[in-house]
Every structure is written in structure tokens, then in C-alpha cells.
Amino acid sequence: MQQMTAEKQRELGAAGLRAYPNVAQAWGLTESQAARLLGTPESTYRRWKRQPERASLDVNHLERLSLILGIYKNLHILLPREDAADTWVKRPNANPLFEQQTPLERMLSGQVADLVAVRQHLDGARGW
């Protein structure tokens, strides 16, 4: 697999960070929750949010951004009503994947694997 250049990594990070605060707002996340999903301290998240072009994201942060943006997109495809798509992450879910918790609680565990699990669940619902 080809190594990503630092410039390309910075471009992708900036683009993701410009979109991510809108997702966090749509989902009704606190700054603390938004930072936790990205796997970063709140102060770093606030700095990145103010100046996404200057953010220095590593591969872990880029993966998290990609997963979160993919989850958001899947929800808006599966649930065309905006309010239904945006509140899905905060509604208790009977699927065994969530064990009666909300998808957000699962994603906030801090592990990338939990973001992957939610993304795969939604990809499966889309038939992927």
C-alpha cells in the first residue's frame, strides 16, 4: 500500500475537520464527546476546530474522521428524514451490537474498533 504524503494527510485532515463540527452539532455532541470520538483532548479539538488547516492529524485521527463521516453519510442514506438520521446515535438500540445502549455510547468507548463496528453495521444495512 502506498504511503500517504504529509501534504496529502494535512489536506485530508483539514477537509475532515471542516466537516466534523457540523456532524458533532447535528448529533448534539458536547465538545468533550466530539473530542473523545476523535481520540484527542478537548483543548486539541478546539484548536483544530478553529484552524483545521494547521491541524496535524496522524493516521489514527484520519481513520476516526473517515469512520465518523461515513457513519453520518450512511445514516442520511438509510434514514432520509434528517431528524431521524441525526438522532439515531442517541436512541437505545436493541441490536446485540449495542446491548440496549445507544450507538453513541458504544462509539464513545474510545476504541477505533467501536467506530468500525458501527460503520460496518450501517454498511451492512445498506447492503455493502
Contact 65, 38 (CB under 8 A): yes
DSSP string of 74-87, one letter each residue: HHHHH--SHHHHHH
pLDDT at residue 1, as a whole number: 41
**Residue 123 and residue 54: Cα distance in Å, rounded?**
32
Give the rounded distance of the alpha carbon of 91 from its chain centre: 17
Residues of the chain short of pLDDT 70, as ranges, are 1-2
pLDDT at residue 2, as a whole number: 57
Residue corresponding to grid cell 468507548:
109
Sign of CA dihedral 11, 126, 30, 106: negative
Name the average pLDDT for the chain. Answer: 93
Percent of the chain with pLDDT over 70: 98
